[in-house]
Amino acid sequence: MCESTAYLITDKGEEKIMENVVYMKPENGKVFLADLLGEQKIVQGILKEIKLIDHKIIITDK
């Protein structure tokens, strides 16, 4: 499958914020995420990196 897991990097470390992410849209210092079942989340932060092989989305709060 093509789902990814989103992580937020803060001063405290890496925190898993959503699994099975199928849609992501960075916009104006926020990242909109939606998962396979339709759950939605808006995270304050900046998209830093997407690791397609590892199915990992990295968002930073800075």
**41-55 per-position pLDDT tens digit:** 999 999 999 999 999
* Tokens at 62, concatenated: 């800075």
Residue among 49, 16, 48 nearest 35 (CA):
16
**Quick one: pLDDT band at residue 6, thresholds 50, 70, 90?**
very high
Distances (CA, A) of 20 to 1, 12, 27: 9, 24, 20
Report pLDDT for 2: 81
What is the gyration radius of the CA atoms in the chain, in angstroms?
11
Q: Whats the size of the chain, residue-wise?
A: 62
Look-up: residue for tokens 């990992």?
Answer: 56
pTM across the whole model: 0.91
Mean pLDDT of 3-12: 96
Domains in the chain: boundaries = 4-60
